Amino acid sequence: MKKLDRVILRLAFLSLAILSSTFMTPTAGFTQSKIFIDVGEAKVRKSLLAFPSLQFLGSKEDAPADKVGDEIFSIITNDLAATGLFTNIDRKAYLEDPSSTGLRPSGVTPNGFDFNKWKTIGTEFLIKGGYQVINDQLTLEIYAYYVPQGNLIIGKKYQSATGSLRRIAHTFANDFVKGVTGKPGFFNNQIVVAIDKGVQTNREIFISDWDGADSHPITNHKTISISPAWSPNGEFIAYTSFVKRKIGNSPAMRNPDLFVYEVKTGKRWLVSYRTGMNSGAEFLPDNKNMLVTLSQGKTADIYKMSLDGKSIIQLTHGPSLAMNVEPAITPDGSTIAFSSDRSERPMVYTMNLSGGDVKRKTFAGLYNSTPTWAPDGKKIAFAGLDKAHDAFDIFVVNSDGSGLMRLTGAKRANGHWANNEDPAFSPDGRHILFVSDRTGTRQLFLINVDGTNERRLTYDRLYYSKPKWGPVAE
């Protein structure tokens, strides 16, 4: 955790449209509407997936468009790998040349592929796709099959401008995951995150795809902007920024003030600018109110505040000058998790929406912070510091405080333990997005809730902090 972040703590999405995504008529003799992978199990066995390169369906004159196919293929591959549900079959094991056979099986279409050749090498899921580009319009025709039973899971055409190919790729990945698990994927969900280039550089707020790609800033304050949060309806983003301002006859000063940004219009307004900390925003399910941390005086407490900042209700009151920060609310709006040092060391607590029924949830470690709820409200993830590593790691605990589990543990090149912080549950509840400094900067990583399938998402020299999931991109 950066020194600035600790001081702060102590002071208390190109828009695009899929022009059409239409179901194609399922091939005769094939069935759909079946769950093939039960993701409700504690741990899921990885299924063998064959995903040959996409075929170019256009004319030879359009051959340069092959780069489009490579990019779509790469995005889908990355999305599916992030689920932890599949193991890709080595292409050297293929018993037929996918580029010389059709997208549908033999007996159904001329030059179709042979199911038996895929069964022989143990394939469970087979994805066959092709694309063409005409006048900057991209069409992706793609099929997914359950090979052991010869089932067609999904057969679709996706159409859009070539500039929207990422959205097409993410949409297919979502559809495929839902087709095999019955539950939607998160690949079209965006995130909001604070990014800087290191010490003594400005930190601004960005919207990006879930994997950090296609990022664009929503702030240009040329100062330190932190702790973004996205409203459930996707309309607003709240954040804190140290913007210099002048009040009355006093000299201009920087204060951590709370802003709200309207995504569709680009408008923003100052919500809370009380002297001291105005941070840690968390939207309530009604999208009309937020939980914020204010430090008015010697300590920091949690308040409920309207989006215009006019209505404010204090929820915590110490005790004994204790600091209460980083509120996070369950999706149903019933319970707030937060960090507090009321037991001397910062630990995770919960309370009801009125500030009552306070319960301590964590007891281990030296410093527990940034709690976040699973979408079903059954688990809390947080960053914890312990003596063993002398660094922060991501932990999960059941909502009642039981079942504490460490998810991360990685070392830097110098052999010291790395910091893994800022957890955020994915919309499907199966993964946690977090930030780690194991590579020298603070990069985005993803890990399954059971601690498996840890993956690095970003590969740059930037510093990311406090990522939060947003809604599905429009």
pLDDT tens-digit map of 116-136: 999 999 999 999 999 999 888
Q: Which one-letter amino acid corresponds to residue 439?
A: T
SS3 state of residue 74: helix
Q: Read off the tokens for 318.
A: 């110490």
**Cβ(264)–Cβ(255) under 8 Å?**
no
Euclidean distance between CA atoms 126 and 154, whole angstroms: 11
134: closest CA among 65, 53, 54? 65
pLDDT of the chain, 474 residues: tens digit per residue? 544 454 444 433 222 223 233 333 333 334 445 788 988 755 778 999 999 999 999 776 665 566 899 999 999 999 999 999 999 999 999 999 999 999 999 989 899 999 999 999 999 999 999 999 988 899 999 999 999 999 999 999 999 999 999 999 999 999 999 999 999 999 999 999 999 999 999 999 999 999 999 999 999 999 999 999 999 999 999 999 999 887 778 788 899 999 999 999 999 999 999 989 999 999 999 999 999 999 977 799 999 999 999 999 999 999 999 999 999 999 999 999 999 999 999 999 999 999 999 999 999 999 999 999 999 999 999 999 988 899 999 999 999 999 999 999 999 999 999 999 999 999 999 999 999 999 999 999 999 999 999 999 999 999 999 999 998 876
Strands (E), 3-111: 20-23, 47-50, 55-56, 86-88
For the chain, domains (ranges, CATH) are 20-181 (3.40.50.10070), 188-472 (2.120.10.30)
Per-residue pLDDT tens over the stretch 212-234:
999 999 999 999 999 999 999 99
Euclidean distance between CA atoms 373 and 332, whole angstroms: 11
271: closest CA among 285, 257, 284? 257
